[in-house]
Each structure stands twice: as structure tokens, then as C-alpha cells.
Structure 1
Amino acid sequence: MKSKLIILLTVIILTFTIFLLVGLHNSAKKEVVQRFQSRQLFTARQLSKELETCLRDESRAVEILSTLPVLKNKKTDAAAKAVQEYFEYLKKDHVKSISIYDEKGTIIYSTLKDAIASDQSDTKFFAWAAQRKNKGYQFIIEDVPQTFAQSSKNSSFQVMIVAPVYGESPSNFIGLVSAVVDLDDILTSFFRADSSHTSKENAWLIDKDGTVLYQAEHPEMMMFNVHQQDESCLECHTSFKYVETILAKPTGTTAYQLKESSEKLSSFFTLNYKNISWKVVVNTPLNEVTDFVDKNSLQTVALIVVISLILLISSFLLLRSNRLKAKAETEAEKLRGQQAFNLILESAGEGIFGLDLNGNHTFVNPKAAELLGFKIEELIGKHSHTLWHHTRPNGEPYPGKECHIYATLHEGISHTGEEYFWRKDGTGFSVDFSTTPISETGKVVGAVVTFQDITERKLAEETLLASEERFRSVTQSANDAIIISNKLGTILGWNKGAEKIFGFANTEIIGKSLELIIPPDYREKHYTGMERLVAESDRHIVGKTMELQGLHKSGNVFPVELSLSEWKTSNETFYTGIIRDISERKKAEAEEEKQREILEKLNDLSGLLAEDMTLEQSLEKGLQIILSTSFLRLEQIGGLFLSEIGKNELVLKSSVNLPEAIQTMCANVPFGHCLCGRAASTGKIQFAACVDERHENHYQGIIDHGHYTIPIFSDGEVLGVIVVYLPVGHLSNPLEMSFLRSAADVFSGIIIRKHAENEIKSKNQQLQKTNSEKDKFFSIIAHDLRSPFSGFLNLTELMAEGSEDFSKVELTDFSKALHDSASTVYKLLENLLEWAQMQKGTISFAPGELSLAEVVSFGIDTINQRALQKGITLINEIPETQQVYADEKMINTVLRNFLSNAVKFTKRDGRIVVRSKKIDAEMIQISVQDTGVGMAEKDVNRLFKMEEKVSSKGTDGEPSTGLGLLLCKEFVEKNGGKVWAESTKGEGSIFYFTVPESMQNN
């Protein structure tokens, strides 16, 4: 009953295990596919960005080339030279050729000699370039004409980038420039670094119309449109729905099935740039993705089969064991009756047991059970070989027929030797054993086995052997050099590590002197040190670690680390040196020191932002910080340029040790000129190992030197350029360039910060000036209001106290005086209001085209009545055709003030003339000249100034405050002009102001 239950449980467990493993396999396969497609989509996106970056860089290069002055001026030889130089610079970026075309479409120069003189006038790209609307743009051609084909590879993918060239006139089309770019190199480079699941053959490009642009696995498909399907297409494809899916979506994943091949996983991403729209597709066969899971499923099936067999065999053995156990117990019962025998067994210090012909235990003494880890009843009747002799020490199965105990039972031969027994807990141990056959009536009926545990003895032997072997192994396999020498410096031991580090084979060096691995400059010190060591006067170096210099067989000197130990025999002293090559560690330490210095210098530069100094002082100090960077190996010479606002020009702002000739020659450098100008125009670091043809600012006696020229940028705007001198032949280094770029970024922040601080300072000064002027203006107004208000109050007081006592004539005089006071107050308040509006910026300002003669006539009309009262003649000499561009109301106010002052300070029967003249290509000068009393020079210099108060009465006692002139100055300057005066005491005055003639000059 028990056996049947075991078999039933075995079947149930096997069935459950099979279903569980199949479910896990399917789930794992689905998870693997999902993760792979996500990674595959990332690969497609990254490839798209890589291609776009390349196209963007080369389009920019073609754009720059199309604007070269030598092309615009049709200087063919100079243009050819410039294009060839530009091509030498660009060909490392996958540019295969550059060509120049004239306005008829004929190639006048090309870096691809076979293309020169070919006619491209009927091409699509020439027709595009000839359209004026495309000036300043670039066009990308996917189907490169055969004229420019250079690659012999079937799968080569090249594009052409075209830019039109125009002359000085915007409508003067003079040709175009083209560059052929090989994108196959980009694809090859990208996939070489990608994962093992993705290769160049699994990628393809297709444009938005369905034309295959690139397919390395099937180059015959290139330039084939998938919409034009024929019977040959259906030989491989069952359907093209997956292509429609790719074209319909910007990005995603899909799967498709080809005939006679496994299903493929596909991920795609859209590349949009200028006139192109490509789908970047990455394919991978499904079986490559799931192969690992499928292999694991086969291993799982094999495991299930093994488990099934084990369970079935175990069930069978269990049944058989029950029967054998019953028989063994019967026989053991007989033996237990032998008390004397049992006493011997129990007192024995060795393990003893008996076996029948089948190898089953018939008796077992306590020592044997103890050594084997079983109880005696667990052994009686059980098969001996199965319990404790089933496996060899190395883990291999031990067939019973090969066992010496088996030979004793079946051949009657005694045996003594060493064997390996297994305990109940699965651990094993070595034994020294002997077997003796038991015979009855001449036949072998069993055997007696005695054994003892020799584990400790074996362990001691193995430990000794292992120690010896370990020493030899460590010595020979160590990466460090282990060298043994005597006190004379003769090499006696030389391991593999020493061969690797010093280059000498064991056979070359044994018996030779240590001086072979010591640099000549250090040998004298070595001999002195050995003498002190042997004399035991320099014991401190034993057991210490020292850094020295080693000499390689090739002659190279390199840093090493030495640990020295000493050991002695009865009559000899030996030294063991463990030597390690620390070249890489020293390089790492040097690199770490560079990084530390970089952070320190950048921190010093950043600290300039917080220091209270001018921009020029910050630039000079920052330049000194860069030049003091030790790992750059600079010549302690450099300069810093800032770009001139509104001009494509650099201005030298700071320099350290620059030759005077260079300071003069490079005071102003146009963009694109020399290395500094090229750095500003291209936005790239310019490097030169020595002065060459690119160094256009050249003079007799210039000292050879190298250059790093670094542009300073902020939000795409060129702020300036840093130039530092290098020793001749210096090689460019990515770490140096990275540091200089970072330094330029810090300078960018300094420049922006200092500009902002200067602007804030200027605004504060302007605000302080405005507040001061406001206070002064109010003070003047208050002072000037006092007099008319005082007269006004006195008159009204007289009239209020005794109006009935005044005659009509007196009342008329009082009324006139009141009117004059009120008019003065009104004018003062009107000036105050207009000035306040100007300061707040709320006054209306609407400049326009004006007839100057009409404006002057209007001003004369407003003042004419007062002039007639004094018999003064007003003359307008402004030409009828003279036009100005200004605010009419403001100009009227200026003329009214000037004319009013002229009438006020001109005696009766005087003369006032208004004139104009053109003083330059932009401005008109207007003058108001009188024959009045004039002013002293010191009073003229005080006019138009807020801090000066100039007031006097007119020739008929008319009041004057001088405030009107302050408003005139504000109004003229608001219109872009200037105001001033000339005067001679007793002869008269001339007041001038200027305004723009037209809107372009305002």
C-alpha cells in the first residue's frame, strides 16, 4: 500500500512540474520580446539623432562655404583653393567631395576631378537652387547623381547637400555649392558600438514616399519604391502591411513574417530635417531574440525526464529494500546470539562489519556505525556499496564491480589498502581498510571488513604538498615580479611576472647582475645601498615598500614599487624582492591631479563673479588663471577678445605678454579672419601646432608657436574669443580642449554678469540724476512762483481793502498786473507739467514728416503780436521745400520758446531771423538769431543746465525763469538732435538746434 502511494505522488508531482515549467517558459519569452523591442526602439532613435547631427553639421559647413567672399566675387582660383582647404578640413567628417557650379549649372571646380566641367543644369537640385526664394537655405538630395559616385560598396549610402550662392546683389544668382556626404560610415560606426542583437545588416532607411534609401542586407532594394510591387517582391514577402504601418506612424514597433524565414521584430523612428523625412528602421529575427529562452526550454524538458527517472527508480529501490531488510534482520538475529563475538566487535577501536555475497550488512560494530554516521539498525540488511561506497572522491560514480570488496566476495581474495567511504550526512573521509573472505565448506559465503579513519593523516600530507605547490604556483603566476638574489646582487630566482615586467626571459637573466634592471643613473646608489644592507647598517628598508625606477630590456625606464625581505640558511643570506610596475597608477595619479587642478582653476574663475572689479580687470585676472594651469604646458602668452556689439568684429580687451606687434595688428579682428576670427565665426575651437597659412595676421620676425583659440558663447551669440600660445609641435588633447571650453563658459558668465552690473550702475546713475534734476526743477519752480504769487496777493489785498477808493484807470492797471502775474504762473505750471511728463515718459511722442517752413511760420504767428508791440521784425528764411522728421508739438514748443526769448531780450525796432541749413547727410540745423542785448560768455555756458539758474528781465521788464530752455533741451534730444547757443554782450544771440531730415536718420 505504501509503495503504491509513493508511485501515485510521483506521477502527480511530475504532471504539476511539467505544466508549471511550460507556463514559465511562455511568460519569459513574452517578457524578453517586450524588453528587446523597447531597447530596439531606443537604438532606432539614437541612430536617427546620429544621422541628424551629421546632416546638421555638414549643412552648416555648406552654408558657411556658400557665403565665402571669393565665391561671391567669382574669383575662381581663390575659390578653388578655399574649397580645397575646406575639404581637407571636412573630409574627416565623412565629406567625400565638394563642388562649385556657375550660374548655368556647369561644375567649375570640384575636389572630385572627374566631375569638373560636367553639366548639371537639368538636375532637380540646380532648378531648386536657381529659385531666389531658396537663398540662404540648403537642400538635401538622396539620389546622388552618378557623376559624384565614388564608393565601390553596393550598400554605400551617400547624400548631397546643396546651397545657392548669390553675389553682392540679393538677386544676383551666381551658382551653387554642393557637398557629397557618405552616411554609410556613420551607420558602420554606430552599429560597431551597439549591442550584439543589432548589426548594420538589420537596419534600413526609407523616405516618406516609400523609397528604400539604405538596406545593407539587400542592396538591390536601394532606391526601390515599396509601393511598386511586382511578382519578384512576393517571392520573399507575404504582405507589405508592415511597411504601411511604418510609413503611417512617426515612431513605434511592429513585427512581420517573410517566406522561408522566421518572424522579424521591427522598431522605427522618424528623422525630419530640412526637406527630408526618413524612417529609421531596425530589424531583428525573432529567433535571435528568443533563442536563449528556447534553449532553456530544452534544458527544462531534459530536467523533467531526469527527475521522472529518479523518482521511478527510487520507488523501485524502496520496494526492493523492504524485502531485503526483512531477510537481513533474520540473519542478524542469528549472529547476535554470539555474545563473545559481539563483545569483540563492541570493544574494537576499528570499524568492523560483515557482508553477505550480495554485499548487504550482516553485522556492524558500534565503531563502524559511528564512523559512517549511521545507527547499526540502519545498516543491517542494507547494501554496503550503495550506502557508503557509491562515489569516488572526485564525484564520479563508483561501479560496484570495480570495488575491492566486491572482488573479495566473488573471488575470495583478501585486500588491504586505502579507500574513500561516505557518511550518512553526505560527507566523505579517507580510510585504511582490509577485507577478508568468509568460507563455508570451501565456498565463500561473505566477508569481514575492518577500517579506520585516516583523514587527519591525509590532511597533513595534502597540506604539505599544497603548501609546496602553492608557493611555486604563486611565485610563477603572480603579476608582480618576484626576484631572488644573493648579497652580491646575483639573480637566483626570476618568475613569470618578472619576465613580463622587465622583458628578460628566465634563461637570459639567471646568474646575471641586478644592474641589468636598474637604470644607469641609479646604479651607484644601488651599490651603496647593497653594501649598507649587507653590513646591516641599513635595516630599515627590509619589510618596507619603496618607489624606485626600473629598466626594461628595451631600454625604457619606468616607475616600480619594491618590497624587500631577507631570509637566511646556515651559511648564506638571500633577498627576495617583490616588484610591481606602477606606471598605470602613476598615470592615474597624474590624471587625478589634472582633474583636481581643473576644478581648482574653474573654481578660481567662478570666484571672479563675486569680486568687485571691472570687466577688464576680471578678464585679465581670468586670463592669468588659465595661463597658470600647469598641465596645459602653455607659453604664458595669451589674449582675450570681446565681440563688438552690432559688428562682426573682435576687439582685444586683455592680454598677457603678447608682442606689441600682435597687439597692434590684432586690436580689431573681423569674424572669419585669422584663427581668432574663425573661432568666432564657426563656433569651434581652432588649434594649430605651429604658425601656418591660417595665421593671416603675420609679421616679419614672428616667433613660431602653437595656438588654442576658444570661442566664448551665450545662447548662440558670440561674446568673445580666448587665445593661448602653445609650444611648437604641441599635440591637441581632448582633456585640454574640454577644460578650455569650460573656462570659456565661465568667462561667458563673467561677461554677462559684468555687462548686467554696468547696466544696473548706469540705470542707478540715471535715476539719481533724474531725482536730482526733479528736486532742482521743483526748487526753481517754487522760487519763481513766489514772485508772481506775491504780487498777485498784494494787488488783490489792495483791491479788497479799498476798491471804492481806486479810479477806473487804477483798476485797469491792477487788472493788467493781475493778468501778467497769472500768465507767468500759468506758464510756470505748464512748463512743470510738460517736464514731469517727459521724466515719466508719458508725454506723447509721434514723429513724422514736417514742412519746416510751415512749422516756423506757425511759431512766428503765435509771437507776432508781442513783436509788433515792440516794433521788432520777424523774418522766416526757411526754404519752402525743407522737410524734417520730428514731433510737431515738441518742435513748436522749442521754436515758440526761442522766438519768445528773442522778442523778450530784443530792444524796440530790432530784428529776429530764423534760418536752416543741412550740416551733414542726416541732420538739419535751425537757428534763431536776434539783435538783442546778448549775454556774457559765462552766462551762455550756464544755459540748458538744470543745476544752473539763469533768469533776467526782458528789455521791457518781461519776466524770465530759464525753465523753458530746459524743456527745449529735453524735446530736441528726444527727437535725436542737439541744442546750444552763441551770444555776444550788447550785440545779440543765436540759439541753435538740430533735427533729423528723414525717418531713416531718426
Structure 2
Amino acid sequence: MTTNQDDGWTGYYQELLHNAPIGIFTSTPEGRYTMVNAALAKMYGYSSPEEMMSEVTDISRQIYINPSDREKFVQDLEKHGEVKNHECCLRRADQSVFCVSRSVRAVKNSEDKTLFYQGFVVDITDQYQAKQDFKLLFNEMLNGFALHEIICDDQGRPEDYRFLAVNPAFEKMTGLKRADILGRTVLEVLPALEKSWIERYGKVALTGEPDCFENYSGEHGKYFRVTAFSPDKGRFACIFEDITTGRLARQEAREAHERLLKVLDNISLVTQVIDMQTHEILFMNQEAKRQFGDVVGRQCWKVLQVGQSAPCSFCTNDRLLDNNGMPAGIYRWEFFNEKTGRWYDCHDVAIKWVDGRLVRLENALDITDKKLAENELREQKLLLEGILENIPDIMSVKRTDLSVVKYNRAGKEFLNIQDLDVIKGEKCYKIIGRDSSCSSCATLEAVRTGKLTAIEKYVDELGKYFNCRANPIIDENGRIEYVVELIRDITDRKEVEKRIIKMNKDLEIANSEKDKLFSIIAHDLRSPISGIFSSSRIIASDTGSLSPDEIRQIANEMGKSTENLLALLNDLLQWSRMSQGSMDYDPGPCDIQDLIIASLKTVKDVARHKHVEIKYDLPAGVKVMVDEPMVNSIIRNLLFNAVKFSRRGSCVFIRAIENGAMITVSVEDKGIGMDEDIKARVFEHDKKKRQLGTEGEKSTGLGMILCKEFLDKHGGSIWLESEPGKGTTVYFTLPVADSVIFSG
């Protein structure tokens, strides 16, 4: 009965530990878990305690960020017997980092030898991050911060306060160092401090009412804005903001404003400052008052214009601000004022007035005489249009904003335009169906540079290449008024040029590949043929002196040379057919297991001769959409390579794993491997990449190239992993056949 009761209590405690909300574990001194509960497994990112105990075989390497940290922790356990509330950062199963608090004890036997470690773990990631965030904010904030406690006399009246904490910004602002003031009272640090400051801060600490004020510190020569508040009764905190620069800047701004008004008042331009909201005239210089009278304080549209019943429709206020309501720079425009009968070149800009509001500063230059001369010149230029009307190239005249003024006859015919008035003033790019100007626009470039610009470009909307020559027409003031552009269709010429360039590139590549291949073929054919020739000469000349064993040995060598020569010729034939496009590609659904097992038969004898065992792990019933002869060639090549470079008595592994729409096949050997130089050239025509097999077997160098080209045909890929002395694993992918189409 006692035994049954004990078993019941044991089961109860086991269930209690398993379902506890905190992590619980036992582990060996060597670093393996012997028990973990569900909360710990979940905390470390495992689906169950069983999975965690199975996956984690080395706590130092898999759980600790720095494996040496566990050694230090175990030393403390062995020294003290237990460690409580130890905080550290560990790794989850997905390698993410989290923070825990641990309490662990060492369970020992009667001989004081540690049997196992037992521990409790709590996830404190959120609390740890919050502490780090607060510490960062406290140390990095730009404003000074200080925490104090108030000191009162026997009657409860504030008589001093003590420094509890200050941040680096406070030290920088005040020159007081944390090490010199923490724990000391303000009168110890600043004996001359006025009592009124202690009373003011005491009120904040004792009543909880915050206080905010600006103060000049003669000791530091600075202005401060101080915000004081009480985090709990008897304490107060102060945030100090250095506002010295702002105070001085405002004073300098007022002085600069006065200087600006003096300058504006004495220039010869018509200068006015107008409120952008109310249209009130705030300032007029002497020249403005001479032309319009002194109307400061009035609304501009009432006194500077004629016949206006509301703000002017041509007011430039909207053009002076960007989308965020900030000044957008100078806006220049020309305007005829009916009140004065004069033309003006206006330069308007939004600025901040001394009181902070946005105003329009307008400087206007009288250009009446210049405008009359421009009109006369314009009439003369228009007479030249007749000359350009009959040239065979397309000719357009545009304004700088790309609005069309004129097309000649060739242009109208090309665009199928009967009436020019229909598109006059329209943007040139809209006429051909675009929403914006071309990325390379000769007209815009001519406007930008002020020079003749020639550009060749392809216009998608028209499907043609054009040579565009844009010439800016500049007035007597150096401003571009029009751009004349001549456009010639060069589509036929460009197509011929493209074909020539492509043919040259293809020819260069073909010649390079041909030269490289001929070099490889010459080298590879010479060696086996030389061997056969030498062996045959020996047999022919020394037949009588050779023993049967020697003849047999020479025949075997000739057989190997012939075999290598035949393999080379077969690879060359396949590569040649693939390069010339004459090799058939006829994909169909094939069982991947059947394909690989069939290919294993071809390499069986070679593997048996070297005592190399071939193992495989292949999924059943998975079909791939492939050309069967090509894939057989790929698998045979890779298997022969694996056996060739394997040592006697080793194994070759071939595996296949389905991964979505593709299946990945790997061929792994434990042979001689490859260095980085050979790996980098394994898919190239390069004899330097070649290696002999473990028993002197030679290779053609074309096998891997054929594999890659065959896989490219299938939309697959091939890559490898290798390390000298440890072996090579080659991976390639094939498309999985559509099970719906090929079911049954």
C-alpha cells in the first residue's frame, strides 16, 4: 500500500513539474538535459520536451551564445552549490536570442560528487529590453536630467536637497561631475545657492505640482529652461534645456531684420512685403512709394491693381510654397500693371517675417523698354518659319515647357495632323500618347545647357529610333524663348547596327569557345593516342622478347587508353550536338527512383572493382518531367565521377528530396575533394581543373559541362560542395511532373 501511495505522489509531482508555468530542467555536468518540462521546451523554441532533449546534445554549443559562459557558470555552481537569479542571454532553436533569469543548484551524493544540476528558468526578455531602453534614453538624451531628494528641517520646511542621479547631458551643461556630486547636498556643492531655489523645488517635491521656468545662470553664462516634477513624494526631478543659442538667435534676428529693411529701402527696385494670408502691405521701399504712393497697411489687390474686387487671380502666393507649406524658392514672372502702364520683371519669394509669419517679398524691375524690343524681335524670328517648312526632316518649334508652337509639313504628315491649331500649345509628349516627357529629351537638355544638343533615342510609343537635334533660340537678354528641334527617323539604320553588334558578339564567343575546345581536344586526344601508338610499337618490334604477362599488361594499358579515348569522343559528340541544337529534347513523366536505380547498374562493375559501396535513399512514386536519355547521362556522369574520386572501401551516397515544384538529387562521395580553384572552374572548358582519380583514372573535362547544359534544358540547376581530403557532394534539381496531368 505504501508503494502504491508513493507511486501516486511521484506521478502527481511529475505532472506538476511538467505543467509548471516556469521552465524546469535537470542536466548532467557534461552538458545534456535529462529532464525538461513543457514550459522550458516552449521557451527555447521546441515543440515538446522530447524534441528538445533529442535535439540538444551539447548545452554549451547549442544553448549558450558563448560556449565558455557555461564553463564559468558551472564553476560558480560547483563552488557555491547553487546560483540564484542569474541573468543571461541564450539562444532558441531558431538561433534567436532571448534573456532569462535562472536559479540552479548542484545535486550531489554523499561523497560530494555532483550527480546532476536542477534549475528553474524564467523568460525576462521584455523586462531586460525595457531596462536597456531606459538606460539608453537616460544616457543619450540631449537635455540634462537630475533626480534629487528634498531635505526638510524639524518643522517640515525644505532646507536643502541631495543629488541622487544625473545624466551625461547634465554634466556637460553644468560642468558638475557625477562622481563629485552624487550623494551630496546642493549646499555642499554650491554653497552660494539662493534659498528661494530650495523652497521652489521643495514645493514641487512635497506637493507634487510641476513647475516650468526659464532662468539665466551667471555661474555658467547660459540660459536654461527648467521643468521640475515629482516622481514620488519627497523627491523631484529636473529636466534642463539649454536655450542660450535660441535666445541669442532671436536677438540677432531682430537686429538682422532692421538691417534688411534699411537695405531694401534704398535699392532702385520696386520692393514690397505683403502678408500671404491677409494680403496686407507690411513694408514698401522708397521706389515703391514713389510709383504707387504710401499705402502700407492696405490690402495689395485694392491699391496696387485696377478693377479688382478680390485677391488677384494671378497672385503668386501658391507658387512660393511647396507641398508642406514651406518656402519653395524664388518665383520669377513678368507682369503688365494697368495702374502704372508699365511692364515689370518680378522676383517673388516667401520668407519668414520678424514675428514668424510667412510673407511675400517682391522685387520688381521696370522692363517696359525691353518688352517693346522683344516684341519687335519676335516678329522678325517668326518670318524664318517659312524656310523650315519644306525641309524633309521633322521640324518642331516648342517653348521651354515643351508646349508645341509649330510643326513643319513633314512633322504634320508623320503625326497625321491636318490642323495644327488642334495641337498648338499641347505638350509634345502628349501628342504621341505619353504622360510625361521622354527620359532623354533633346529639347529639355538644350534648355538646361543653352547649347545645341543632339540625342539618339528609341520612342516606345512610336516603336522607332530618332536622331533629335535641338537648338535653343535665345533672346537679347540671354533667356531661351523657343527651341527648334529637327527629328530624323533612323530606325532602319539602328536595326542594322544592332544586328551587326550581335553578330560580332556571337562570333567572338563562338571563336573563343572553339579555340579553347580545340586546345582541350588536341591535348586530350594526344595522350591516349600516344599511349596506343607507343604500346603498339613495342608489341610490333619486341614480340619475340615479350612474355605473355608483359603482352597482357601492354594490352590492358592500350585498353585503358582506348576506353579514355572513347569516353572523350562520346562526350565531345554529345557536347557538339547540344551546342549545335541538334540533340532532341523530349521531356515526359519518369519515376525518379526508377531512373536512378537503372543508372546504378551501369556503374556497378566499376564500383565493385574499387570495392566502393553505393547507397541510396530515394522517395517512391515521385515523377519528374524530364528527357530520360539526358537525365540518365547526368546521373551516370555524376556516379562515375563519385566512384572515380572515391578511395577503395568507401561509400557513395545518392539521395533525392522533393521540395515543392522541384526535386533535389545529391551524389556524395568521401573521396579526395576539390580546392577552391578547381571548384571555380568545374563548369568551364579548362584543362587546369582536371584531377586524376584515386587510382589514376583520367577524365575528359566535359562531363560536368554536359550535366549543366542538360539541366539548363530542364530549367534545373547544379552546384556542389567540396573540401580537399573530405569529399564532394554534387546537387542538382529537376522539375516534378504535374500529378493531375500525369495521374495513372
Q: TM-score over 0.5 for the alignment?
A: no
TM-score w.r.t. the length of structure 1 is 0.28
Mark the structure with the bigger radius of gyration. Answer: 1
Name the structure with the higher helix share: 1
TM-score w.r.t. the length of structure 2 is 0.37
